[in-house]
Amino acid sequence: MQWTAERKRQLKEKIQNYKSDVKSVSQVRVLLVGPVGAGKSSFFNSVNSVFRGNMTSQAICGSAGTSLTTQFRTFTIKSGKSGEPIPLILCDTMGMEEASGAGLDMEDIVSIYKGHVQDRYQFNPMTPLSEDVPGYRKHVSLKDQIHCVVYVVDACRVSLMSAKIVEKFAAIRKKTNQIGIPQLVLLTKVDEACPLVSEELQNVYLSHYIQRKIQELSASLGIPVSGILPVKNYSQELELNQNTDILLLSTLDQMLNYADSFFENQLEKEQEEL
């Protein structure tokens, strides 16, 4: 990892100029999934801040015991205050909760994957979304679907994840694999988990503790180590930080790379059908 102003500029430019291989898709849709308080909404706010050039707080964040996000949200990120949207949309969902029947429902996840859920749809944990409910998009195309799934996990809680949450992750992973969507993991709050990283963010790839957490997570979620990305969200800062920006931008770059794999598979399928 290069921690220079030039590297930050290159990453921003690469993300802003991204174009998918599928002409009908101008923006990659990335779904964030994770337990309550893992940092999904904070990640969007942090990325938005990097592209805006100042601190923003568009998505609701907090540390309540239950999910503060109760709607399906699709967040567009603009480059600058009145600039063009970048070619990536972050989609946020209810947090996963331990209790069965609480938090995100598997049927709702599948509806989101397939593009049936409209922005600001209010989740109902008791009743999954169906065709006759307002907020259901009947006619969908590839641009409405999810192109990459990102699991968000708090580095401080890797060892404390309950069997129920790990079980829910496994069920989601299985369904996501069946549908054929590529998956990544964001390991958030790395600075809170490791004093070495808190002191200097550039130590994130040198920290044995963070490496252990990545390997632990890989074993429990069944995601390769290469698909687990350490990241620090903005939480208390008033000013942007170059190293934090570079780490955030590099995760977006990987999401676009993984989405490319999804599009390649779609194009192959279309060719086979012809």
Residue-level pLDDT at 64 = 46
**Domains of the chain, each with CATH number or no CATH:** 25-235 (3.40.50.300)
DSSP 180: T
State the average pLDDT for the chain. 90
Residue 67 has pLDDT above 60, yes or no: no
Average pLDDT over residues 224-230: 97
The share of the chain scoring above pLDDT 90, in percent, equals 68
69-87 b/e (C-beta count within 10 Å ≥ 16 → b): bbebbbbebebeeeeeebb
Per-residue pLDDT of 35-54, as tens digits, reads: 888 999 899 999 999 999 99
Residue 101 has pLDDT above 70, yes or no: no
- Least confident span in 2-16, 61-75, 94-108, 109-123: 61-75
Residue 158 has pLDDT above 60, yes or no: yes
Task: Please name which of 89, 64, 59, 61 lies closest in space to residue 74, comparing C-alpha atoms.
Answer: 89
Contact 114, 140 (CB under 8 A): yes
Distance CA 160, CA 222 (A): 17
Give me the helices (H) in the chain, please. Answer: 5-16, 40-52, 106-113, 163-179, 190-193, 195-199, 208-221, 242-273
Residue 255 has pLDDT above 80, yes or no: yes
Residue-level pLDDT at 121 = 86
Measured CA to CA in angstroms, residue 161 lies from 18, 34, 58, 153 at distances of 36, 11, 28, 9
Residue 62 has pLDDT above 80, yes or no: no
The residue among 96 and 220 whose pLDDT is bigger is 220
Residue 116 has pLDDT above 90, yes or no: yes
Residue-level pLDDT at 123 = 77
Beta strands (DSSP E) in 12-147 are: 28-33, 71-78, 85-92, 121-122
Residue 246 has pLDDT above 90, yes or no: yes
Residue 66 has pLDDT above 50, yes or no: no
Residue 173 has pLDDT above 60, yes or no: yes
- Least confident span in 13-17, 34-38, 50-54, 172-176: 34-38
The residue among 129 and 61 whose pLDDT is bigger is 129
Residue-level pLDDT at 37 = 87
Which of helix, strand or coil describes residue 77?
Answer: strand
Per-residue pLDDT of 179-220, as tens digits, reads: 999 999 999 999 999 999 999 999 999 999 999 999 999 999
Residue-level pLDDT at 60 = 58
Measured CA to CA in angstroms, residue 183 lies from 43, 115, 177, 257 at distances of 17, 17, 9, 11
Residue 57 has pLDDT above 50, yes or no: yes
Residue 61 has pLDDT above 80, yes or no: no
Residue 124 has pLDDT above 90, yes or no: no
**187 membership: H or E segment, kind and range:** strand 183-188
Residue-level pLDDT at 230 = 97
Residue-level pLDDT at 65 = 46
